Chain A
């Protein structure tokens, strides 16, 4: 899982350092990340997401905005480059889309503020750093875990209501309606899409400067020239976008802990849990439960790509993700130390043991819009064995891993690892003669998954698309499409 372990090796840490330094130009940071992604020096969902968010924050910060639609274009372009650099890391695209969503949202808010005759007091009063945002609405952040805010304010129905009550600002109602409409969309997307047939003429009145993406009959009204004309608001918009990105970063940081927060709802006493690979998310989840309950964990070692990390994690020498200084602080406490019996088994024993396993808990690399997941190789066989034994399969995934992309070609998401992990090059003659298959990922269809737990809570497979709809704008789902129209 962790890519390069050396401190000085190029990776997430070095990238984050360089992207912050003023001496490095934005363009070179972009190129840097692209090459890191291409060379797989930054890999796996979280590091990719973090790197992307950092890069985009820099991009937004340094962007000389005269026309906000240009910012959308720019982020889209960068997003396309990042995605094509490493199409298998879906979180890159997820973060790009979410940043785009932040921009669109802020713009829309701003525009609606304009329309309703108010200068956006929220924007004006909102300080530049996210920390102070909390102080602005302390009751709110105290009431709700950070996850709710950080999930892009899209759970904003509640958010804005509270704000409305708390701040008593009259300009909120328009915002509320816009967000409520969002929520309506989410709960009944089919209705909206059917309405789009009828509402076609109305949504097809874009301003000349509107982004091509917004021409699709989406739920977001296109940017109007009025909003764009308001140069004064632009700077504040930028600050808000940066703040939105900051929130995404915080969400990335906290996702694992938030997911772990649901552990006690899912693990009962004395049960036997089977897991696979050395996932920090899963370990935190189990540890949280271990604090209160006694249970047994059967740990499949995920040979040959992840067994070393798995062994280390059961022994207690796991280093977390070395590239990652943001969250997932060094992972020291082991499950065994918490009193959980851990049985380490080779992957081949999974079927034999499955009939005594109560739950399978899996980490995932990505979750796609239809609920299919991309997980470590071996996961499909495990999930299938679980299905046959009617054992529930629980997938833990931060919201940032939920991708709005439909998997038209699942094979394109698969990746092959280093064949020498299967047969070392010492067996030279043999290696030459035999074809070695070392897949890194398995594509697990949604039918094999019983439940997804994200930082927002547990979701049935059938509900997952709603969560995804909440987090991405319809215009942004297909970044390539807008490219094609250009």
Chain B
């Protein structure tokens, strides 16, 4: 990809988000928030049936027989949810969303099916930061993004509800991910509402993409922001942002990069001089966000890609795992520059992100091999270098990335193949981690139910006592397996990550 195209690739997701938000936003501007949520929900009756059906663990059935019991369950579910929500979001003003909480799943479905049509073919285009479950053809099968039944699953039919959480990860489950904009605080900006769902459905996926999308959404929040009387912008805008963030977290936990960016933004806001004219202050903040994105991600990616290419020699066989936008950019760039190399993409269930990468690379004419985690011991024999993306780099030099990365890095280390991690410094965190248990993200287990096959035996997993499904998002790769980290400042050993992290904070 040429440098110009690069920039496009970086910014494209953001543009998509904006365009996809349009209808929502229009609705929101004219009406109050509850109406907005209704705007993207389906008729109520339909939702009920879906809800009932799901509680029976048979999401495929859309019949209406579940109505009476569905209603009861609905009540129960509502109460449960309300309690939970009250607990977690006690400070959120007003819970107008509550009465329609139980519409969740159907709304989700609606949002799901609708979003691609609004956003156009976005998920399938070559936009690098967009990762989708690539098992499907993309937009044609939107269900692949996130099974609709996902959310309702924990609400089991049995009165003595069995805890289906894997005990070791119990601390990570929290509330089920939000399926719907309903119940969101009325302060949440429509752009953020849409963004949350897109992240939830992996339509916007990947640490950098989520960070960019969040910052762009916040830019719009700031643009639309009006300081209430008796308040100052630096003080009130921060709390206003917090409610946006709470909403996003309820859709999917923040990525490290998002956390870093948000921390930066909050500092920026707090630094705003109270005497500054509000419009000027807002414009300054928006500009700051733009340059932040450019500096920390767009340009950083270009620099990293350039450095990465320097490590790709003719005849190399580059192995990569899943899909990283920056690795893709590096490979594509190297190919455009005429490097002669082959790529091996190793992929895993359930997201199959690597498939999109392999497809994009082969479409360009790159020679590519595709395998899954089970084949790693075989494909590593041909590889000469391993390029990995990162969700985050921990301060003890460990790499926090898509689950399975550690297996790949371990195998590479054993085979004496150097492992190179491409990582923007925005993904550095001062946190340290020793295992993949304390910090992690547990995705809805329903994603593991094999799609496509009409009757996967797993679809009945909720009925099998003692059976648990674990869908972990990340794992932690020990620093010893990593030969080199490439960030925008250069090549470093993983041990220098904390040092660079400190440096990048100071600048």
A interface vs B, CB < 8 Å? 301-305, 307-308, 311-312, 314-317, 334-337, 339-353, 355-356, 376-378, 380-381, 384-385, 388, 414, 422-424, 427, 430, 433-439, 442-443
Contact = CB atoms under 8 A, between A and B. Distances in A.
B467 A355 contact: no
B374 A343 contact: no
A434 B358 contact: yes
B372 A352 contact: no
A384 B466 contact: no
Interface string B407-445: 100110010000000000000000000011100100000
A301 to B, nearest CB: 8
Given A341-B468, A346-B350, A433-B362, A312 B373 contact: no
A294 B495 CA distance: 42
A355 B403 contact: no
B338 interface: no
A433 B344 CA distance: 13
Nearest to A338: B466
B461 A315 contact: yes
Interface in B442-481: 448, 450, 452-453, 456-458, 460-461, 464-472, 474-476
22 contacts: A311-B456, A314-B461, A317-B457, A335-B466, A336-B464, A343-B166, A343-B468, A344-B448, A344-B469, A345-B470, A345-B472, A346-B448, A347-B349, A348-B404, A352-B436, A352-B472, A355-B436, A378-B375, A423-B370, A430-B362, A435-B370, A439-B378
A406 to B, nearest CB: 21
A437 B345 CA distance: 10
Given A355-B435, A435-B367, 15 more contacts: A308-B450, A311-B450, A314-B461, A335-B466, A342-B467, A345-B470, A348-B402, A352-B437, A353-B472, A378-B374, A388-B410, A422-B371, A433-B362, A434-B358, A437-B371
Given A304-B372, A336-B465, A346-B350, A384 B411 contact: yes
B429 to A, nearest CB: 18
Contact of A349 (B362, B368, B404, B410): B404
A343 B168 CA distance: 11
Given A336-B467, A385-B407, A442-B377, A349 B475 contact: yes
Which of B374, B379, B461 has the most chain A CB within a 10 Å cutoff?
B374
A308 B376 CA distance: 20
B339 interface: no
B359 interface: yes
Contacts of B358: 430, 434
Interface string B203-236: 0000000000000000000000000000000000
Contact of A381 (B167, B344, B349, B407): B407
A436 B411 contact: no
B349 A346 contact: yes
B374 A303 contact: yes
Contacts of B238: none
A270 to B, nearest CB: 11
Contacts of B453: 308
A339 B369 CA distance: 43
B348 interface: yes
B355 interface: yes
B486 to A, nearest CB: 23
B469 A343 contact: yes
Given A352-B475, A381-B376, A435 B369 contact: yes
Contacts of A342: 466-468
B75 to A, nearest CB: 31
Contacts of A344: 448, 458, 461, 467-470
B47 interface: no
A305 B457 CA distance: 16
Contacts of A340: 466
B297 interface: no
Contacts of A335: 466
Contacts of A439: 371, 374-375, 377-378
Nearest to A313: B457
A315 B464 contact: yes
B403 A349 contact: yes
Contacts of B350: 346
